[in-house]
Every structure is written in C-alpha cells, then in structure tokens.
Structure 1
Amino acid sequence: MDRNLQRGGHLRPVDLARRHGLSTQAVRNYEEAGILPAAGRTPHGYRTYAPLHAGALRAFLALVPGHGHQGATSIMRAVNRGAVDEAFRLIDESHAQLLDDRRTLRAVESALRDLEPITAPGLSEPSGPSGAGGTFIGQLAGKLGIRPATLRKWELAGLVNPRRDPRTGYRVYDETDVRDARLVHQLRRGGHLLDQIAPLMAQVRAAGGLGPLEAALCDWHGRLSARGRAMLTGAAELEAYLRERG
C-alpha cells in the first residue's frame, strides 16, 4: 500500500483496511458515515481510494482516543463537508470538557482533604426514640449547618440514601450516609450543581468508599493526561489531513 500511496495510485478498501487492522466493511462504513470522503468508482462500480482517504482515516483513528468515537465522527464529517470552523468548534468543546473534568477531579480531591474523620463525635452514636444506631435528619443538618429540607432535596437527587426507621418512619443516616452527605456538602460549597455531583457520588459508591476512591484518583489523573496527549496526536493528524485537502 505504501508504494501505491507514494505514486498517488488508487487504493482498494482492503488496502486501507489492512494498514490499520480494520475490516473492509469498516472502511466502507466509515465512508458511508462521512468520516472518509466519497470514494471514486471504477467502470465496474468498485470503490477506489486515494492518499486523501488514507489521510482521513489516519486523522479519524487518531482523534478517537481524545474525542471519543462520536466526537471524532462529528469532527471528520464537518471537515469533509467543508465546515472547518464547525470542526474547530467541536474540538474546542472536547477541550472544554477535559478542562471541566480536571476541575471536577480537583474538587473531589479538595473535598476529600476537607472531610473530617467519619467517626466525628455526634454523627455515629445511637440516637432517637427507636434506640437504633444512626443519626436523624435534624442532627445531621445541624452538624453540617444546613436545613433538613436541603438533605431531603439531596435524597430526591439520589445523592444520599438514608434508611427509614420501621417504627417511626424517620430517616436514619448511618456512617456511609453521613459520609455521603458531608462529601456532597463540600462539593456544593465548591460551587458544583447537584447533577454534577451525582456521577461523583456514584463513583464513590462503586469504589466502595472514600479510601478506595482516593487510590483511584491517581488513575483518574492518568486517564485525563492520556486524553490530553491523545488530543495533541489527533490534532497533528487532522492538521496533516487539512493540508492535504488544500
């Protein structure tokens, strides 16, 4: 295939596919999706590609790790229909999302640093008429300096999930609920909206608590850095493709 490219010769779908470990059907699908420019056709109707198509495929595959499949597809479609400014806007949006993800990570790290030990006095002792272990809503709200209505709002948003006392129906917050409420409180003080906090709380629960989450922060940092570097690689390949298009 390289000799064909150097001569500016025609390429078959299989030539592009083999170069990148793809199936010929994938190459055809990319063309139909607008990721590649429209192929030429032989007198018998067979597709033929040129170096420009190879450049488009390289650009798309380089964009995917940084912008995601959907994002890379939208960028390439915009370029191929001549809407380069639209492609740049989509790239800017990806960079803005990466910056927002970095800010979120910093907010989580800051919130974790500011949390007091989970076993802070008054938040894990048996309380209430039922004698069951846990903290009632008024006590927790007072400790956090917020209104009970705020805790109820967080519950409706799925950020905290207290159990109900079977006799009284009162909300009872165990140590995990208290941890979640305090983390939400820190994030809200940092200016985060409830719908921004919800996926963070899901990560806390998926990690099994704050300890495992702290260990996962290094991996989070690594993934964001890898994404940023992938965006640089994708930008270089896209620039080469834009130059080739003229």
Structure 2
Amino acid sequence: MRPTDLARRHGISTQAVRNYEADGCLPPAERTPSGYRVYTEAHAAALDAYLALVRAYGHAVGGRIMNALHAGALDDALTAVDRGHAQSLRDRETLDAVRGAVGHLLEHPAEDSGTAPGARTVGELAHRLGVTRATLRNWEGAGILTPARDPATGHRVYGADDVRDAELAHLLRRGGYPLDRIAEVVRQIHTAGGTEALATALESWEERLTARRLAMLDASARLGHYLEIHPLQP
C-alpha cells in the first residue's frame, strides 16, 4: 500500500501516517528503488492497534506501548496495558464508593451546628462522628478536610461542607477505603459542586468509564491481531 492508501483506510492524513512511523508507532516501511514508502497489512494492523490504544489510553501511553513492542520489549508493553486496566478498576471502585456515599449523605444530611450556623469546632465534630481529634487532623493532612481558622483564636472551624466531607470520610473508612482514595472521592464531590450535583453527574461519569473500558477491550483485540501477523523481533 502507498501512504495515501493507508491514510484513506484509517481516515487520517498521509502526513499523520509518516509521523506515526517516525515516532515508532508503526514499524519502518520498506522503500522502493525511487525512495517511496511501501506499507503492508502489518502496517495497517499496527495503525489499527495504535489508534485503538489512543482511544483507550491516550496518545502518550499508546505511543509507549507501540514503541516498546517495536523495540522487542513485550513485557514493558504489557505492563503499560496492565496499568491502564488497574487504573480503570480503581476508577470503577471510586465510582461505586461515590455513589454509595452520596446516597447515604442525601438520605442523612448533616444536622445544623450547635455553635454557629454551618460551623463546628474540632471537638464538636469529633464527638459527632465518634472519632478522635487526631483522626480529624489526619484527614486534614490527607487533603480530605480543609477547615477554616477562627481569626481570633486560630482554632479550626468546620463549616457545613467540612461536616459533609468528614461524614463521607467516616463512612468510607468504615468500608476499608484508604485516605488517598477518600481524598479522591472528596475532590470529585467538590468538582461537581456538592453531593446533589454529583448525584446527577454519576450517570454520565459511568457512561464515560464504560466507554473507556470497552475501548480497552477493542485495543487489546487489535493489538493481539497485530502481534499475530507481525511477530516481535528479538
């Protein structure tokens, strides 16, 4: 095949084909005596695999995988694939944790503060949750809580959002989640604008995650086909 044939087949430009070859995402093309590139079905399969990897993992990871294969480093390529699947699993678990936590918080909203509207001291919040003050400070250190400070005393003051985040952390800790994962869930809630807003965003989040997981399956199949017709060189 000519570069134009390969480009047309995949809906990209001929320059993109040349760039992918130069970047190591395609195996080197043979040349005619006059210097023109000649591509084969192996190049078409490599391009199929690379474009599918891009959809599943992004350009950087897709490029690393193809370059590793063409360098004969199969283990490095498979490790990159494994890491992508591991991240997908963590994302799925985070989604499930967020859904469960948001459902709980919507069913059991935080009560009004006993000190000032929407504010609690560290002792009051610790008592409310049945945890120690040191636990709350650990959650703060992990980025889960970001309490304000009383300008007069310098003491921590927990607002309504802090109380919500603390209750969320308490719930997830009882479920065995580590602090870094809980901090990730809290960030998702803050990005969405609160628990109610996040609840409405969960469906689209799941759709995107499912689409990515299916893209990974497609990429694996195309990568396997490429390796069948183009065995790695030692």
- TM-score, normalization by structure 2: 0.87
Distance in 1 between residues matched to 2:132 and 2:85, nearest whole Å? 38
Query: 1:44 deviation in Å?
Result: 4.0
CA distance in 1 between counterparts of 2:74 and 2:114 reads 64
The answer to which structure, 1 or 2, has the higher relative contact order (CA under 8 A, 6+ apart) is: 2
Alignment of 1:202 onto 2:187? yes
Cα RMSD over matched residues?
A: 2.2
Sequence identity of aligned pairs in percent? Answer: 51
Structure 2 match to 1:146: 131
Q: CA deviation at 1:84?
A: 3.1
Distance change >3 Å, CA 133–CA 243, structure 1 → 2: closer
Select the residue among 82, 85, 97 that pairs with 1:92.
Answer: 82
After superposition, where does 1:34-73 map in structure 2 within 5 Å? Answer: 34-73=24-63
Question: What is the one-letter code of the residue matched to 2:196?
Answer: G
Structure 2 CA distance for partners of 1:55 and 1:79, relative to 1, 3 Å: same
Query: Are residues 1:222 and 2:207 paired?
Result: yes
Secondary structure, counterpart of 1:34 in structure 2: coil
2:58 partner SS: helix
Distance 2:129 2:192 in 1: 24
Q: Is the Cα–Cα contact under 8 Å of residues 60 and 73 in structure 1 kept in the other structure?
A: yes
- Give CA-to-partner distance per residue, 1:131-180, whole Å, 9 cap, x none: 67511111101111222122223223332122222222221111111101
1-structure distance, mates of 2:15, 2:79? 30
Match for 2:110 among 119, 130, 148?
Answer: 119
State the match for 1:27 in structure 2.
Answer: 17
1:169 to 151, 154, 165: 154
Residue 53 of structure 1 and its aligned partner are, at CA, apart by 0.9
Q: Distance in 2 between matches of 1:105 and 1:61?
A: 27
What is the aligned counterpart of 2:220 among 235, 239, 243?
235
- Take 1:44 and 1:195, find their aligned partners in 2: how far apart are those partners? 59
2-structure distance, mates of 1:193, 1:19: 47
- In structure 2, the partner of 1:11 is 2
Asked if structure 1 preserves the Cα contact closer than 8 Å seen for 2:20 and 2:26, the reply is: yes
The equivalent residue for 1:7 is none
- After the TM superposition, which of the residue ranges 83-92 and 183-192 deviates more from structure 2? 83-92
Listed as ranges, the gaps of 5+ residues in structure 2 are: none
**How far 1:60 moved relative to its partner?**
0.9
Q: Aligned to 1:169, what secondary structure does the other structure show?
A: coil
Any gaps of 5 or more consecutive residues in structure 1? Answer: 1-9
> Residue type of the partner of 2:113?
E
Which one is further off, 83-92 or 54-63?
83-92
Matched with 1:188 is: 173
- Tell me the distance in 2 between the aligned counterparts of 1:91 and 1:171: 44
